[in-house]
Homo-oligomer: A and B are copies of this chain.
């Protein structure tokens, strides 16, 4: 039987997870659900937001649903570590970044759909393991980095102790697998166009490499038209003409920005779900964060989590259940019978969840 690790996390994570699991229950699928620990509390008390027992759970299960986890700047995180653990070498690393890196979940798949009116429907596929997230962020440069940047006028005025450098890493391994994933996704969904997001008019060397890899893959997918667009133009068109996009492939940071923007275009973070997928595992989560200020208020919109769960079901080869769940979301949004605060209503998380369950009737 397929097993799912459920990690509610903190903030509004537990609330939206509960609501989503109610919808799952209604479907009565042959799935085993096992709960696990993740989040801020475990950073504070155990020195790691992802305890070892959680990694074990992830190993033993087929996939994972994540609620939300508080994410803070490194410096604030350090200050909240329990006194007993300070100075013992614990460094806060965002738990979602940990999951993506350690489990090799290289593809972050974020559908951007106009649920209310069906005017647009595209997917941002974000590379999840390299780019500016490679962990190569330095301040006060050593000799080898200074040799690379020291001639830049700003650096030479500032000196190496007053210079930061963050490496945006792009590798053939990373590029090839995300492109292949993007093309396969486009083919599976019957899409005809793949847009690679880059900045080739400024980044000449890496841009040439990306283009070369795109051209090489594109040969294997003759039915799919490709284009390379500048990231700034994509941001603009996402707002002005979102219907022009089908499948977007972007490096990590561009993808981070564009997928949050996509959530904005959808009508808010509350509506967006996402999947993080690799060859050895996967996890699914709403795009929104943990909104600690709202925790316990039962105001959060559970829709993004339910859509993440629908993506999960498709991933574990339950396309019919996935489709039913996604259709229920669309009907619930259109019925406007239980509208949460983010969309201008006053419904509670439970009421919005109940409406989703209600809409889940077989047709």
Interface, chain A (partner B; CB < 8 A):
71-75, 94, 97, 129-130, 132-139, 144-145, 147-149, 152-155, 157-159, 162-174, 199-211, 228, 231-233, 235-240, 253-254, 256-261, 263-265, 268-269
Contacts and interface: CB of A to CB of B under 8 A. Distances in A.
A102 to B, nearest CB: 10
A147 B144 contact: yes
A210 B155 CA distance: 15
Contacts of A206: 137-139, 164-166
A169 B147 contact: no
A238 B163 CA distance: 30
20 contacts: A73-B228, A75-B207, A129-B153, A132-B202, A134-B154, A136-B148, A137-B203, A139-B205, A139-B206, A144-B144, A144-B148, A149-B167, A154-B174, A159-B172, A163-B172, A164-B170, A164-B205, A164-B209, A165-B167, A166-B170
A96 to B, nearest CB: 10
A265 B253 contact: no
Contacts of A233: 260
Contacts of A129: 153-154
Given A203-B137, A235-B257, A169 B165 contact: yes
A236 B264 contact: yes
A199 B164 contact: no
A205 B137 contact: yes
Contact of A203 (B166, B209, B228, B240): B166
Nearest to A205: B139
Contacts of A174: 154, 158
A73 B164 CA distance: 28
Contacts of A157: 171, 173
The 10 closest A-B pairs by CB, nearest first: A239-B264, A162-B172, A73-B200, A164-B206, A232-B260, A74-B204, A139-B205, A158-B171, A144-B144, A154-B171
Contacts of A199: 132, 253, 256
**Stoichiometry, copies per complex:** 2
Q: Is the interface of A mostly helix, strand, loop or mixed?
A: helix
Nearest to A104: B153
A154 B132 contact: no
Nearest to A174: B154
A137 B235 contact: no
A173 B161 CA distance: 12
A206 B132 CA distance: 12
A169 B144 CA distance: 15
Contact of A235 (B147, B173, B235): B235
Contacts of A162: 171-173
Contact of A136 (B149, B201, B232, B253): B149
Nearest to A228: B73
Contacts of A236: 260-261, 263-264, 269
A207 B71 CA distance: 14
Nearest to A145: B148
A202 B97 contact: yes
